[in-house]
């Protein structure tokens, strides 16, 4: 496991946002009727999760609100930010968290890396989100049809090799797929591999002393999720 003290990203720790005493969700109510939030700002991880689920349902139903996108709302974010959740997702162009959860500017702190792996820089970004932005909910979100996971399965099955830096991704994913039943039908195998990779990322994160303590003290809730390409639905996983 990598060292959670990210020397290459120390600048993150020096950019802590000042003046977060007033929640953006409440501040909006005093600015103008055109940007009043129709959903209360989540006060804990459970409420944050409900908001994500409600937003995803609107996305699935093709009834998005497109809230928190206009210039008046964006003006509230110039000096500070107060996202209500952190999402670690894949870089895949088909899986943009803000659209999937029907949220807007300032609502989510997103960290995207191919294969949604817990790499060194990801840990630094997560530490910043929890320690400085105080997001109560962290979601590790994989997706069906993930190319990084598919390349890993292909290498396990056929001993193929990818290019050098893609191999570094595969190296991070492979340990989480060791218990897969490789005799499964291909589509079933791939779905199982995607879920196994999300659970592996969650276990890797919880292996870090800081993360384990934050979860134990209920300063943050960690949950896994899978995005379904064909339906647009996000399926949440138990630990």
Domain boundaries, the chain: 22-237
pLDDT on residue 165: 85
May I ask the CATH architecture of the domain 22-237? 3-Layer(aba) Sandwich (3.40)
Task: Say which DSSP state 31 is in.
Answer: T
Give the pLDDT of residue 10. Answer: 35
Query: The whole model's pTM is what?
Result: 0.84
CA distances from 173 to 112, 195, 232 (A): 15, 12, 24
How confident is the model at residue 40, as a pLDDT? 85
Cβ contacts of residue 140 below 8 Å, gap of 6+?
A: 88, 116, 198, 201, 202, 205, 222, 223, 224, 225
- pLDDT values of the chain reduced to their tens digit, one per residue, 239 residues: 443 333 333 333 333 333 333 444 444 444 444 445 667 899 999 999 999 999 999 999 999 999 999 999 999 999 999 999 999 999 999 999 999 999 999 999 999 999 999 998 899 999 999 999 999 999 999 999 999 999 999 999 988 888 888 999 999 999 999 999 999 999 999 999 999 999 999 999 999 999 999 999 999 999 999 999 999 999 999 76
Q: What is the pLDDT of residue 161?
A: 84
The confidence score (pLDDT) of residue 16 equals 36
The 10 Å Cβ neighbour count of residue 212 is: 13
Q: What is the pLDDT, as a whole number, of residue 36? A: 52
CA-based radius of gyration for the chain: 19
Burial class from Cβ neighbours inside 10 Å (0-12, 13-18, 19+) for residue 74 reads middle
Q: Where are the beta strands (DSSP E) in the chain?
A: 85-89, 108-112, 137-143, 221-227, 234-237
- Distance, in Å, from the CA atom of 194 to the CA atom of 152, rounded to the nearest integer, reads 10
Give how far Cα 64 sits from Cα of 28, 55, 59, 231, Å: 20, 8, 5, 15
Per-residue model confidence (pLDDT) at position 238: 74
Instruction: Please choose, from the candidates 88, 85, 181, the residue with its C-alpha nearest in 3D space to the C-alpha of residue 136.
Output: 85
User: Helices 209-216 and 120-131: crossing angle, nearest 10°?
Assistant: 30
H or E segment at 85? strand 85-89
């Amino acid at each position: 496991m990598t060292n959670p003290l990210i020397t290459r990203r120390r600048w993150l720790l020096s950019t802590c946002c000042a003046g977060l005493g007033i929640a953006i969700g409440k501040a909006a109510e005093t600015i103008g009727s055109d940007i009043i939030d129709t959903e209360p700002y989540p006060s804990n991880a459970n409420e944050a999760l409900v908001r994500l689920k409600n937003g995803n349902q609107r996305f699935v139903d093709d009834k998005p609100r497109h809230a928190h996108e206009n210039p008046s709302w964006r003006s509230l974010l110039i000096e500070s930010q107060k996202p209500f959740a952190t999402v670690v997702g894949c870089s895949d162009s088909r899986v943009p968290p803000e659209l999937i959860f029907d949220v807007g500017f300032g609502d989510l702190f997103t960290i995207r890396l191919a294969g949604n792996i817990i790499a060194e820089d990801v840990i630094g970004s997560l530490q910043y989100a929890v320690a400085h932005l105080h997001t109560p909910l962290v979601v590790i979100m994989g997706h069906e049809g993930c190319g990084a996971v598919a390349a890993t399965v292909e290498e396990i099955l056929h001993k193929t090799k990818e290019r050098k830096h893609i191999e570094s991704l595969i190296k991070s994913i492979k340990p989480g797929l060791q218990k897969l039943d490789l005799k499964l039908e291909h589509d079933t195998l791939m779905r199982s591999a995607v879920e196994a990779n999300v659970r592996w990322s969650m276990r890797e994160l919880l292996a870090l002393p800081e993360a384990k303590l934050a979860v134990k003290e209920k300063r943050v809730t960690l949950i896994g999720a899978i995005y379904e390409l064909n339906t647009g639905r996000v399926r949440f996983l138990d630990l």
